[in-house]
Chains A and B, each alone.
Chain A
Amino acid sequence: MKKIFLFMIVLGVFAATSPAAIADPATDLKNFQVFFKKKFPTVPFDEYSNGLYALPGFEVYKEQWTMYNEFPPFELGLAIGKKIWETPFKNGKTYASCFKNGGKNIAQGYPYWDETTQKVHTAEMDLNACLKKNGEPEFTDLDKNEAVRVRLAELTAYFYSLSQGQRVKLDVSSPGAVKAYEEGKKFWWQRRGQLHFACANCHMDLAGKNFGGNQPLSAALGHTTAWPAQRLEWGRLETIHQRYKTCNSQVRAKPFKHGSEVYNNLQFYETYMSSGLPLTAPAMRN
């Protein structure tokens, strides 16, 4: 615990002494990754892409995970995603036409800051925009309609699978991007819900421990690299926003809407914190 306090104090001092340099994502990134390096000195950096299975003390979960990976059940969903990706629209074009390089090896730059719309764009948003551009019905009502959301998750999973192994690299150079980043950062460190937890409490301070019995808590580093993922509990591919929603309700906070700007910014912040890690999506998760 002492270490964590120290880390927070250092952050506090940093923020207090240099008001002009509050928005310095590069320093944050360094602090963030050094935090985990000190917390789990035996875990190699790239292993964080495998989520909680990389952490010491979770060998039992890792064993189960390795068995699952021999024939991972998300392959069924991924095959559906592939089919959707390859099925042409009415005008003959496919999803690949909306993306640079046909959608290959570009997911490491997602989510990104878009200057024209002044918003963070996620892969899900771009896939929907592609449908709109080609006059097709979009994926809507993602909060209530599970079937539609799972289809979008499967499609996004296939999109991410085209970039598997690429290292996360986000651009936060423009002032707008820094602003979105700061919003996400605020969400990350802010306590919420009846249980009064911030994201950082569970996924930094308590990372590597079991929560309330057998809910293993993953390290925040590498969180985003595996999503869309299939959880054992859910038995289907789901988007990262759905995970954020369930995470929020687990601390008894009211979840935000799927695809809301709050989650976009959070995803932007979290993905930036995982800079340099290879993408492993889709994957199995507890």
Chain B
Amino acid sequence: MATDKQTKIRTKTQGGVTDVLVLVSHPMETGQRPDPKDKDKKVPAHYIQKMTFSLNGKEVAATDLGPAVSKDPLIGIKLKGAKPGDKIKVAWSDNKGESASEEATIS
């Protein structure tokens, strides 16, 4: 059923600073967890490695994530000088080569 990965963005501007929050549905497997079905095996690692934020097409922030980040991570940045109507784009890619991006308008 509907298990496709979701990326959700929420923005809030206060006093010239915009909070951009990103919620991604992602398993973030470390590769260290034993497989519940077969104890000799481990669940293969699957985590987000790179996440970039761009404002109106120009990259403003990039982060390197790793296996230490929790499942379904919530990641936020603070932006200065973003105007209402500006487009913020978030793109991520993981170690299995999966990637996704999502765009939102700053309100």
Chain A residues engaging chain B, CB cutoff 8 angstroms:
70-71, 73, 75-76, 79-80, 83-84, 87, 151, 235
Contact = CB atoms under 8 A, between A and B. Distances in A.
B70 to A, nearest CB: 8
Nearest to B8: A75
B74 A73 contact: yes
A145 to B, nearest CB: 13
A73 B1 contact: no
A128 to B, nearest CB: 15
B2 interface: yes
Contact of B23 (A76, A80, A87, A151): A76
Contacts, number: 31
Interface of B: 1-3, 6, 8, 10, 12, 21, 23, 25, 71-72, 74
B72 A73 contact: yes
Contacts of B6: 76, 79-80
B2 A80 contact: yes
A84 B25 contact: no
Nearest to B74: A71
Nearest to B21: A71
A76 B72 contact: yes
A225 B74 CA distance: 26
Contact of A84 (B1, B8, B71): B1
A71 B1 contact: no
A259 B99 CA distance: 39
B11 to A, nearest CB: 10
21 contacts: A70-B12, A70-B21, A71-B10, A71-B21, A71-B74, A73-B23, A73-B74, A75-B8, A75-B23, A76-B8, A79-B6, A80-B1, A80-B3, A80-B6, A83-B2, A84-B1, A84-B2, A87-B2, A151-B1, A235-B71, A235-B72
A80 B1 CA distance: 9
Contacts of A71: 8, 10, 21, 23, 74
Contacts of A75: 8, 23
A80 B3 CA distance: 7
A148 to B, nearest CB: 10
A70 B74 CA distance: 11
Contacts of A151: 1
Nearest to B9: A71
Contacts of A87: 2
B14 to A, nearest CB: 12
A73 B71 CA distance: 10
Best-buried of B1, B3, B71 by chain A (most CB within 10 Å)? B1
Nearest to B2: A83
Contacts of B23: 71, 73, 75-76
Contacts of B71: 235
Nearest to A77: B25
Nearest to B24: A76
A271 to B, nearest CB: 28
A151 B2 CA distance: 9
A76 B5 CA distance: 9
Contacts of A80: 1-3, 6
A70 B12 CA distance: 10
The 3 closest A-B pairs by CB, nearest first: A83-B2, A76-B25, A71-B21
